[in-house]
Amino acid sequence: MTTRVSALLIGVLAALVAPGSEARDRNVLWTVEGEQNTIYLLGSIHVLRPGDGGLPQAAERAYEDAERLVMEIDLDDAAADPSAMLATMQQAALLPAGKTLRGVLGADYESIRARAGESGLDLAMLDRFAPWFVATLLLQMELASRGFLPELGIEARIAHRAVDDGKPIQGLETAEQQFAVLGGLPLEEQKRFLLMTLEESTQLDAQVDELVGAWQAGDTEALARMLSAEFADFPELYRPLTEDRNRAWVEQLDGLLDDRDDYLVVVGALHLVGRNSVVDLLRQRGYTVTRQ
């Protein structure tokens, strides 16, 4: 199997598809019972195309039952000031003093520059920025050219709906923390990440279709296989993007399970499957986590 770093990002990182609302036998949705409340765990894909539809019925019911929402980041705040989010990302992406993108990429610079240019990205304008930032820009541009947009995604739709309904939203982490995950990779690993993103861009349609198809079918086994492939291909990226964040989130969810309010928690689908997933870690703590 080819590497799927692009699909990994789409499935786990919100700061960077859904079917219609017909009934389905299985969903990427679980419930966790606290002493006095219920937490619904909904796995999401962070981008959608126009016409891809809305939430499946089981997720609609979970939304209606929940008094509060939890997402990877507080999209209510992000939507209120998208320019501030972009500025935060750009500041986090600046290379250390004395470093340039051309210098970091070395002998591969010209080939990367040519390939990025085919996607409409001018590397000369990005010489102060880290390779991870270039890779995410390329991925966003490639997805947008195929009609996939974050503002059409499940999180954005739920966030807008929650604002209208007066349901509070909170984030499990900040945008700064998400950017720091990629920024924390050594520069050589960031370069590898960029090269792999470019390589995979030619196969992006098939990769995204596979990821979205598994999500639509509620095929958690297929999603877990994708995640396992990512671990084998790029463990340096897998651990901080998935396992480390899952552990931090479970600490917070543990506290919410002492509350009286019911919560709908919406995170990337790949956080809820496989080894040391949020579901797995909650079960390790003794909670009963039931697939819907």
**Average per-residue pLDDT in the chain?**
85
What does the pLDDT look like over 196-208, one tens digit per residue?
A: 888 888 788 888 8
Hey, what amino acid is at 93?
A
Digit-coded pLDDT (tens) for 73-132: 987 665 546 677 778 888 889 999 999 999 999 999 999 999 999 989 999 999 999 999
Q: Lowest-confidence range among 225-229, 236-240, 261-265? A: 225-229
Give dist(CA 279, CA 271) in Å, integer.
Answer: 8
| Residue 29, domain extent | 5-291
pLDDT band at 8 (very low <50, low <70, confident <90, very high): low
For the chain, how many structural domains are there in total?
1
Q: What angle do CA 145, 148, 149 make, to 5 degrees?
A: 105
pLDDT at 171 > cutoff 90:
yes
Written in H, E and C, the secondary structure of 144-156 is HHCCCEHHHCHHH
